[in-house]
Chain A
Amino acid sequence: MGESLSRRDLIRILGASGVAASLGGVSAASGAEEQSTASGEEFLGTVIQPQAVQPTGTCAGLVGGKVIQPRRELPVLGQTDVLVVGGGTAGVAAAIAARRAGAQVTLVERYGHLGGQWTGGLVLVVVGHIVRSGKQVCQGIGEEMLRRLDKLDGAIIDRKPGVNPTVDAEALKYVMVEMVQEAGIKTLLHCWGVDAILDGGTVRGAVFESKSGRQAILAKIVVDATGDGDVFAAAGAAHRRCKYNIGLVSRIGNVSQVDRARAAGAREPRGLGARTPVVGVRWVNMLGPEADGLDVSELSRLEINHRRFIWRSVEKIRNTPGYEAVRLLETAPQLGVRITRMLHGVATLTVRDFRAGARFADVVAVGGAAGINHGEWQIPYGALVPDTRVENVLAAGRCISAELRMADMIRVIPICWVTGHAAGAAAAVAVADACPVREVNVAKVQQLLKQQGAYLG
């Protein structure tokens, strides 16, 4: 009986969709053949026109042995004041800052979660926000995230003055989504920013690849929080490229079940990592070799090698007497790419300034240091603005303008959140004043940042 009923149902559904489609002015001629395989009463999915997803006839072609991508018009997904490309630490902070300042914001992220390296990369420890005296100098939106984690049960540990706290990745993903939703930010996940949209020397938006194909979003200001500087590089802003250590973080569980009595005497195995908010779970860092984080074959090779090493490392731990219960819980969804591109900005952060604690009139962020012997250091607005005449794009996060030797200072989580916060605030001011980011009134940005809880020295 199922057979005939099912067919009848199917025809009914097809008919309904055909009416809907014709009302919408779209031809409904196709589709019956493809959908005929669907069967069963439980099938209630709505049939979608394939063209609505991906325009046909625009794929690459082989022309004279070369692969040619035909010229085509891209669908425009929307228009916004501030477009933040990259939903990592810097991107989320930038989006929230700009939205709270009144700008329309769209945030796009290549993975299915927010937080980037902080969550997907399992960089769980927050390092670089405190100085010698124990004072926390990275405040603002990032600190707000930590305070929200404080309120959740088991979401953060070591939240004491002068100590580097460790967060739980899942709790942080939740907190970030909540904050983004509360602020009213249009968020697109699974969207990989691949190109800038240029109009003369001015960036007018960005192009994305996703399951929906290649689409564009137009914007007044683009914040490049990709970490790799994908947008400013595509727009032609000067930058340096470098190789840096690429690792893969993992988490191991059941460490609380280690039999201390049996383990006594034996040397503690390597790779037990540091504790996390989850009891018995530890996160294990990896530095990895220096490699080009923009070379997909390198990334693939490293991902494979790193996974192999992690598995064997955990096997070694499990073979140590007393440690048999230890299990590998997960390897980080994102490879630990540290530095790839660094902007050539109007200003460049140098180790000399960092050591001297140089102060800038256009300071928009302040960084701390990981337990070592120095005080706070300032980040000028110029370090976010491209030196070359590429307008209306701001860098945020680990790709801002700095000497390579400063990379270890700028790539840490708190510096990403303060530079993101600064870029978002500056973008909002630029939108409100209808001026290019290069000519933004920095005093206004500083005032806005302070209103939003940032510390500027």
Chain B
Amino acid sequence: MHPDGKASFPDEAVPGGNRWRRRLARCAVLAAAVMLLLPGWPCDWALLAVPSLSPFVAVPAAIAVRGVTCATLLALPVLCLAILWPRCFCRWLCPTGLLVELAGRCRGRGAGRGARLPNVGAWLVALTLGGACLGYPLLVWLDPLAIFAAAANTAGGQVARGAWLAGAGLPLVLLVGLLWPGLWCARICPLGATQDLIALPVRAVARGRQDKAKPSANWPMPRRTVLGMGLGGLAAAGLRRVAGAARPGRLRPPGAAAEDALSGLCVRCGNCARVCPSRIIHPDSGRQGAESFLAPAIRYDDAYCLETCVRCTRVCPSGALRPLAAEEKPSAAIGLPRVDMSLCLLGEDRECAICRTHCPYGAIRIVFSEADYLCVPRVDPRRCNGCGACQVMCPTRPAKAIVVYPP
């Protein structure tokens, strides 16, 4: 459309006939991605597809959790594609890329200023990989597909307090695209840089064949990648210490990784909050630690974590929430309730055992103390999984007498 656009658009190096075909394909992929993230799918797998395609999420996550999930396997074709045709994903498939490019085109003439930036994306990838080796993939949340999914999830489902923030990533990226066209895709996008990095050995081998004199000089691992990984490892170690430090902490969904790893593993796609039938998963405000900003946190305002539901754990692309079987649910503890007897109606000899009645796991007993001649609710930590039914049903207002705290 604008033949005077800069060469940094992935679009431009292609002859005219092919360009239309490609544009059609990209629009179709965008439509498909939006469709997958629209509400109304009978199964949750549709939500998992978009953020799981990214090797930038899948590889560091697999390294960090030291395992492979179904979601990781979805990224494998993209990985192979990147080896065979570098940046092919950007050119043909990436829905975020198309939107950023369209944003850039709004500027028309004179676009492309300020695009002189070092390859930030490569550094992001290096830092993330380094962090992943220590179980904390630092920057996976910058993944363009996760950002796209987060925006779609915010628009399409969850409208809880603060949820709009979770979807703010895409507008920000689009703003970058608008101000400095081409900058995001070419220089910042870590998914693009991941593809470059994957393609490096292939290129090196190819070049090595041509120039047999100096094979070792072209060894694919640039020094800055190694340096970046080292720095990433250091940062990850520091952040894990900060995140895991003894603080009250927040309630996390069942199957969540340990507190010191969760904020690194979570890509902030909002899938878990989107599928939760009780609408109790909210983006973390980050008030208790900026590193867990927008990570999933549970709030028991008027609904509890259903005893048979494991949906949030099945839509996590990065292993921040371990996929649970329904039978595992009772043992996947979210927290443990504590009773404040100065609020509890039993402390006033009033007739109440609502927490016991509504506990789905039969974990609450009303125990009589002969010394105080008083009944006290007691929670059996072996049976309780912190589902919050007791807290939700507790009749005291405004503060609840029984409140679930992180384990």
Residues of A within 8 A of B (CB): 127, 245, 270-271, 273, 284-290, 309, 313, 351, 355, 370-373, 405-406, 408-409
Contact = CB atoms under 8 A, between A and B. Distances in A.
B331 interface: no
Contact of B349 (A271, A289, A373, A405): A271
Given A285-B351, A288-B368, A288-B375, 16 more contacts: A127-B351, A245-B366, A270-B348, A273-B349, A286-B373, A289-B375, A290-B366, A290-B368, A309-B373, A351-B357, A370-B395, A371-B395, A372-B393, A373-B302, A405-B356, A408-B353
Contacts of B356: 405, 408
Contact of A405 (B357, B366, B373): B357
A17 B350 CA distance: 58
Nearest to B365: A290
A206 to B, nearest CB: 31
B51 to A, nearest CB: 34
Contacts, number: 50
Given A245-B375, A290-B368, A373-B393, A409 B349 contact: no
Contacts of A355: 358
A285 B357 contact: no
A273 to B, nearest CB: 7
A284 B357 contact: no
B354 interface: yes
Contacts of B368: 245, 287-290
Interface in B331-378: 346, 348-351, 353-354, 356-358, 362, 366, 368, 370, 373-375
Q: B interface, how many residues as a size bin?
A: 20 to 34
Contact of A372 (B348, B351, B354): B354
- Interface core residue of B356, B366, B392 (most chain A CB under 10 Å): B366
Contacts of B362: 405
B96 to A, nearest CB: 42
Dominant secondary structure of chain A at its interface with chain B: loop
B9 to A, nearest CB: 56
A127 B356 CA distance: 18
A408 B354 CA distance: 8
B173 to A, nearest CB: 42
Contact of B375 (A287, A313, A405): A287
Nearest to A411: B351
A287 B395 contact: no
Nearest to A336: B351
B302 to A, nearest CB: 7
20 contacts: A245-B375, A270-B348, A271-B349, A285-B349, A285-B350, A286-B373, A287-B366, A287-B368, A287-B375, A288-B375, A289-B368, A290-B366, A313-B373, A371-B395, A372-B395, A373-B392, A373-B393, A408-B353, A408-B356, A409-B357
